[in-house]
Structure 1
Amino acid sequence: MSATKHWDITVDIDEFDEDTTLAHVSVRTPAGQEVTGVGQAQRNPLDPSVHEIGDELAVSRALRNLSERLLHTTEKDIAGVTGESAHLHR
């Protein structure tokens, strides 16, 4: 049986100054569990200030962090169902 599911990811980006960008990403699973990730970009003072690049880097790091946390959540869920520890390939 085939099914299409849709999960929404929320991305919030904060620029604290000309050099620092912080991104928060979150996803709520169909079971109602929220998983979040955080990423930061710090501009080298010698580089030109291009806000889009800081946004991209901070968001990519936040998504990578979210992915790792979601894998960890999945391991805990598997362990809860099977009664054995689970270690998923990264």
Structure 2
Amino acid sequence: MTTKTAWNAQIDITEEGRKVTADATLIGKGGERRLVGHGVARCNPADQNDPAIGDELAAARALSDLTNKLLDNAARDIESHTHEPVKGSLG
């Protein structure tokens, strides 16, 4: 038997001058929110401001934060089922 579940990810990016913030939201079935990761990128004053690079960096950092939170949740869920600590890395 095959079961298929869809999760959606949404990335919201806000640019304020030379600072970009991103929120990556993992949305589960039924539209309920699961997890949110955050990321920030700042342009060095000595560098030319390219908003696309800031968007990419902030989004990547938000997705990385979201990944870490999802792995932490998975570890807690495993521990609650096995009643043993997770050893090693899940990532």
Report the TM-score, using the length of structure 1 for normalisation: 0.85
| Counterpart Cα distance in 1 of 2:33 and 2:75 | 14
Aligned counterparts of 1:76 and 1:89: Cα–Cα separation in 2: 11
Which string of whole-angstrom CA distances, capped at 9 and with x for unpartnered residues, describes residues 38-76 of structure 1?
Answer: 000010111111111100000000001100000000001
Structure 2 gaps of 5+ residues are: none
2:61 partner SS: helix
Structure 1 position 16, deviation (Å): 1.9
Amino acid at match of 1:52: A
Residue 3 and residue 67 in structure 1: after superposition, are their counterparts in 2 closer, same or farther (change >3 A)? same
CA contact (8 A) 2:38 2:66 kept: yes
- How is 1:10-89 mapped onto 2 (pairs within 5 angstroms)? 10-17=10-17, 19-30=18-29, 32=32, 34-87=34-87, 88-89=89-90
Contact 2:25 2:33 in 1 (8 A): no
Give TM-score scaled by structure 2 length. 0.85
RMSD after superposition: 1.9
Percent identity, aligned pairs only? 31
Alignment gaps of 5+ in structure 1: none
Deviation (angstroms), 1:5: 3.1
Pair 82,35 (structure 1): closer, same or farther in 2 beyond 3 Å:
same
The separation in 1 between residues aligned to 2:84 and 2:36, in whole angstroms, is: 25
Residues 1:76 and 1:33: Cα distance change in structure 2 (over 3 Å): farther
